[in-house]
Structure 1
């Protein structure tokens, strides 16, 4: 039966099992919106295209399937660019559909015209243009496979509005398979030999793709092999942290002891991530260490430095192929693993700051009070470092944060998380600057009946930038102060639960009231602008810019 290309796009997304699309509507893709009218796919209406993109990013991160965002031409696409850049640097699968001007209007500088490939060609894995209505399903299938295969990332699909309205007899096509990764036994054996010979090996996990029990299986293997396991920045949920092999995370806010142990190790095994500038303190640590690299990306994009053995594999496929611990630990005892685990345990339970609000204590209370199956989303900036340090992750798919440092992701991501996992408590940790990048996306939580918790740490400044200024331009604060509203009152104006918390002693009761409210809630935590996260000198030295 003939249907429009726009309707066929929706049918193809259904064939791929897509449950939600995140969208700011535009007249350029009305036919797709019309196709969604009677589709089982839920259309989540965002208020800003950057918010829609970050919601799609959270969908891709938490589900392992590409998140879908739909925006309009020109200004809409420009607003969505931040999520495409984030998905590229974070290696997270999303597909961004962009409504475009009619084909006949191209090249005339018509209303909201822009060059799709020119804007996104250097930031997306692929840019596709639907110029043939009969190929609508094929284009969608290509986009979905490209986003998910190899090193995951963003794909951008242009949808000229006149092509969307054209009729076609084409039908949905079967989803294109993502090529399975067959881990070569010889390479695994080579890795096993190197691990058995190492005295101080260190496994570093990261990236997406830690599905099912892959993380817990790896930690059981690591414990038996006497190998400590650390994670890349904002990949803290790849493995359960209640393991005796857990050594903490690398990157912003990490323990100085762990960073030093990058150089002390005699073998680094990266699984799902590479040696980036953030992880290696701006390419200064761990470069002279024997390195095994396990990535689904044969080009090893964003890995720098030495590679002695490279295995093309996903985290799950490599973990499934690991040999028994008996063939790995050799004569290595547990001292190295125990030392790193002890260092991290001490780091995650100590630290203090002056003033009436001690965030060290506040976040430890949060770790205890909020159910363990929670999903935590992060904005960018110093305020999030307390969460990284004191909020544990023992459940897979429980953390979303922009690994490229993009501000504004925390609120959209927590709304998406609450839709994806309605049975789990979703919590966003934001600074005041980050929160005000996308607070409007709270409206989606009310529209769809979810109850995320947003914690806003308000110190009235762009704290990370102010910290840089104190280091490099002491006594000359410039351009970093902010004037803020009453965030708790703002949440109440939406119809949610909002409280301002000024003292550590009031944190637990406020948390319990927020969690029991049954509506979207916000805790507005006031903090002296002079207070920085404990042991944050390394954060400043590494050049955090968000």
Structure 2
């Protein structure tokens, strides 16, 4: 059993239950919301939340709770908190843990467990928490001693945030959770280590930059701030260095900025061939906040041979191939020292040409939409209608290709999309984003298949006053898989068709705003009405099933 000694006392009660002490420690850690589906295995923690400053957001499914917590971890500086019960509840939440692990997003999942005396008897909803989560979480711990509850929670929060962020799973046996702790106390949250580059590391990197004629910077991961993103883009623009983003990490830096435009697009799915070519031709690759992974390297086939520098707050887990220099630092700490770095003689036109290609590729132009709505034109409308700080969410599927290619991000913390390709993440993420940032526009783009995986969380939005606008792209199939079938098994679609409800009426039945959009020209006014309603809204867009992805302007 791991020991968690009690440290400096912050608050003391003559007697407090372990469940109430956990809540008190979460308050001390700055947690504002906890998402979950209630279960009898963690009643004492729920009771502690009754009088807490932490808002308890009751969701309709554990997967929804997990994805809302994922969004909290992605958009704020604290880990997202999810609470589920044993067995089935833990199984339903597993998808969010896997997403948080592959996406490197801080999350703490509390799982109620059976009483200690019932262990090993195949009792009701019993499961092995370590065996289930041990391979896809940074840490799995179980509360064995009520007196260590506060220190255990502090360790979970610290672990989730430190180094390479990720999920921590905490097991809570229902009998231990309810036990009283005499003199129970919260502990002072540990300070998060924020390593900065050493002067020798900066000197070495400067020498590499001075030698490079075709450098490319790739940004991604967590920990980006407005200041960090803007500093990097201005510095790179001044030295003629293109800045690309990792897959679904497009909000790390501003895409358009007065005083310097160095952003040239994103790598991975929906990327342009021109950008992939430049990535592969680079003679120096500087990764900041992200490793060279599978998706951004087109399945480990591009960008493998260049001199490589990796800037990460922890280890290089997930990085494939060459590393010539590893700088241990987070994005904010690294970019704060950019003025100390010079740049070499970058090839003329290296950045301007890349930026021009990006401008062409990311500008939506009308195309033949067949018998449905033209998503290119809808994206053009949204680029005009969205605020600079709008938050965008989506799950996985071909519908996301339009959002990834055409939306501009001008502020940090403006995107929640699963980098591991988990369907069903977009709607819960949008609900959470609306609670986190009640004054900001929140837009979710969903496919019909992706929407129905966690669309029930629309009810959570109605209940708690979150008001995202969801655009449901209805093409009556799982389009990504259908596209693979057409490539490998032409003329033999199998197991990918869908039959859908009227999503607009569905939204109205929940108490939200809903409209059906069958023609492109109807979209702008429908979107404006959805925003003006002040309610969670669904715009049901009918798309030609034969349209799989944006085709125009491909570079």
> Normalising TM by the smaller chain, what interval?
over 0.9
Gap regions ≥5 residues in structure 2:
1-13
CA deviations on 1:403-434 (whole Å, 9 max, x unpaired) are: 00000000000000000000001111110000
Q: Residue 176 of structure 1 corresponds to which residue in structure 2?
A: 190
Once the two structures are TM-superposed, the CA of residue 224 in structure 1 deviates from its matched residue by 0.9
- Select between 474-483 and 239-248 the one with higher mean Cα deviation: 239-248
TM-score by length of 1: 0.96
Q: Residue 344 of structure 1 corresponds to which residue in structure 2?
A: 358
2:216 aligned with 1:211: no
Q: Is the 8 A contact 2:307 2:324 kept in 1?
A: yes
Among 235, 238, 245, the alignment partner of 1:221 is 235
C-alpha root-mean-square deviation of aligned residues, in Å? 1.3
User: Any idea what SS the aligned residue of 2:321 has?
Assistant: coil
Distance (whole Å) between structure 2 residues aligned to residue 55 and residue 367 of structure 1:
26
Q: Is the 8 A contact 1:188 1:322 kept in 2?
A: no
Q: Residue 473 of structure 1 corresponds to which residue in structure 2?
A: 489
Once the two structures are TM-superposed, the CA of residue 136 in structure 1 deviates from its matched residue by 0.3
Distance (whole Å) between structure 1 residues aligned to residue 397 and residue 368 of structure 2:
17
Distance (whole Å) between structure 2 residues aligned to residue 529 and residue 25 of structure 1:
40
Among 194, 202, 216, the alignment partner of 1:202 is 216
Q: Residue 390 of structure 2 corresponds to which residue in structure 1?
A: 374
Distance (whole Å) between structure 2 residues aligned to residue 236 and residue 190 of structure 1:
28
2:482 aligned with 1:463: no
Q: Is the 8 A contact 2:312 2:329 kept in 1?
A: yes
2:276 aligned with 1:259: yes
Q: Is the 8 A contact 2:194 2:313 kept in 1?
A: no
Once the two structures are TM-superposed, the CA of residue 185 in structure 1 deviates from its matched residue by 1.0
CA deviations on 1:482-502 (whole Å, 9 max, x unpaired) are: 011111110000111100111
Q: Residue 499 of structure 2 corresponds to which residue in structure 1?
A: 483
2:54 aligned with 1:41: yes
- Select between 289-298 and 137-146 the one with higher mean Cα deviation: 289-298
Distance (whole Å) between structure 1 residues aligned to residue 346 and residue 115 of structure 2:
67
2:302 aligned with 1:285: yes
Distance (whole Å) between structure 2 residues aligned to residue 293 and residue 353 of structure 1:
43
Q: Is the 8 A contact 2:66 2:97 kept in 1?
A: yes
Among 120, 139, 142, the alignment partner of 1:107 is 120
Distance (whole Å) between structure 2 residues aligned to residue 130 and residue 264 of structure 1:
52
Among 142, 158, 163, the alignment partner of 1:150 is 163
Q: Is the 8 A contact 2:102 2:420 kept in 1?
A: yes
CA deviations on 1:256-304 (whole Å, 9 max, x unpaired) are: 1101111111111000001111001100001111111111122x11110
Q: Residue 81 of structure 2 corresponds to which residue in structure 1?
A: 68
The residue correspondences of 1:366-515 to structure 2 (distance < 5 A) are 366-515=382-531
- Select between 217-226 and 73-82 the one with higher mean Cα deviation: 217-226
Q: Is the 8 A contact 1:253 1:535 kept in 2?
A: no
Q: Residue 26 of structure 2 corresponds to which residue in structure 1?
A: 13
Distance (whole Å) between structure 2 residues aligned to residue 191 and residue 457 of structure 1:
46
Q: Is the 8 A contact 1:221 1:324 kept in 2?
A: no
Runs of 4+ aligned structure 1 residues displaced above 4 Å come to: 535-538
Q: Is the 8 A contact 2:364 2:377 kept in 1?
A: no
Distance (whole Å) between structure 2 residues aligned to residue 349 and residue 324 of structure 1:
35
Q: Residue 8 of structure 2 corresponds to which residue in structure 1?
A: none
Q: Residue 235 of structure 1 corresponds to which residue in structure 2?
A: 249
Among 128, 146, 167, the alignment partner of 2:180 is 167
Gap regions ≥5 residues in structure 1:
539-546
Question: How many residues are paired up?
Answer: 535
CA deviations on 1:455-486 (whole Å, 9 max, x unpaired) are: 10000000000000000000100000001111
Once the two structures are TM-superposed, the CA of residue 532 in structure 1 deviates from its matched residue by 1.4
